[in-house]
Amino acid sequence: MIRRILPRRRALAGMAGALSSPMIASGIARAQANWPTKSVRYINLFPAGGATDVMSRIVCQELSELTGQQFIVENKGGSGGNAGADAIAKSAPDGYTVGLFSIAPHAIAPTLYSRLPFDPEKDFTPISMFWAVPNLLVVKLDIPATTVPELIALVKANPSKYSFASGGSGTSPHICGEMFKQRAGLNMFHVPYRGGAPAMQDMLAGQIDMMFDNIPGPIVQVRAGKVRALAVTTSERSPIAPEVPTMSEYMPGFQMTSWGGLCGPAGLPPAMVEKASALVRQALESKALKAAFLTHGGTTFYKTPAETVAFRRSEEAMLAPIIKTSGAKVD
């Protein structure tokens, strides 16, 4: 038995030595820097058809054209984006499963949820940011308010009478509404829906008074004259609705965007991360991509890996007190 084991140990030791040799290490580094050499699985955290899905596919198509490898979008919705984020976190750290880096699971969920199946700080490798999309505050047409100050005065004069809807608890539109309530000192309740589309249907039916949503959805109904837009939640007016004021024009400092980027599981090779980030930067410089984003209310929002890490932390720190004050919690 001893004679059988010793040669095997010597063989394993030889393999370990070979792998640690400068030549092999250099080859591994080159392979990482040449990423991707095969198809890449991209996990989108939300259902097909929404703005994040469409814009994810726009980016993945551009990356496919730049690399000659397919970036295949897989929709894995559920639990406010947490199900898909968990799938990314638990994938192999080889660069061939990546996915959407999003405000909901990575900056809102850490405070909103009592427990998460992943650690937003430790279980991911942030690579780059993709886009920023404003939320839009809209009201039904029979609400006697055409500006944000008029809406605030109306709600204050009728405490507990008015409600606001969003596409779900823990989404950026939901937290926008909570921020609005706190900043203006309003007494109104939140009605969560399973997506912005069903919320809008109930608004059109007169069952809810107002809602916050990512701008691509409600702007269609605004253009059709079916709801009234009062403000966007970014610091600057949206290029697709420049006539709509910002919340900060009425409430200085009010700012919140729905953002998306690229991440993988923890432990991605640094050379691969740098290559992926450079490819994203190149993709976002495409005039066709910028125009496609704009049709969905988005603007390009590139950040380096280190800047992306810092941005996520700053967003969580900014949102945490708003969520805590609202009392919103998911067990």
pLDDT digits (tens, 9 = 90+) for 199-208: 999 999 999 9
Question: Could you list the residue range(s) of the whole structural domain that residue 165 is in?
Answer: 134-249
The total of structural domains in the chain comes to 2
Q: CATH number of the domain at 270, please.
A: 3.40.190.150
Please give the Cα distance from 326 to 176 (Å, whole number): 11
Q: What are phi and psi of 88, to 5 degrees?
A: -65, -45
Q: Compute the average pLDDT of residues 85-106.
A: 97
Pair of tokens at residue 51: 């703005």
Q: Residue 166 forms beta bridges with which residues?
A: 192
Please give the Cα distance from 179 to 166 (Å, whole number): 13
Q: Which of 204, 219, 249 is a domain's end point?
A: 249
pLDDT band at 23 (very low <50, low <70, confident <90, very high): very low
Please give the Cα distance from 190 to 110 (Å, whole number): 20
75 with 94, same domain? Answer: yes
Q: Tell me the CA distances in angstroms from 304 to 81, 103, 136, 201, 220, one per residue in order.
A: 23, 17, 28, 39, 33
pLDDT digits (tens, 9 = 90+) for 299-322: 999 999 999 999 999 999 999 999
128 with 138, same domain? Answer: no
142 with 127, same domain? Answer: no
Across the chain, mean pLDDT equals 90
Going by their DSSP bridges, the two strands 163-166 and 189-192 should be labelled as parallel
pLDDT at 22: 52
Q: How wide is the angle at C-alpha 164 spanned by C-alphas 130 and 86, nearest 5°?
A: 40
Cis peptide bond prior to 36, omega within 30° of 0: yes
Is the pLDDT at 18 greater than 60? The verdict is no
Portion of the chain with pLDDT greater than 70, in percent: 90
Is the pLDDT at 125 greater than 80? The verdict is yes
174 with 217, same domain? Answer: yes
Q: Which of 233, 249, 265 is a domain's end point?
A: 249
Q: Compute the average pLDDT of residues 118-144.
A: 97
227 with 286, same domain? Answer: no
Q: What is the pTM of this model?
A: 0.84
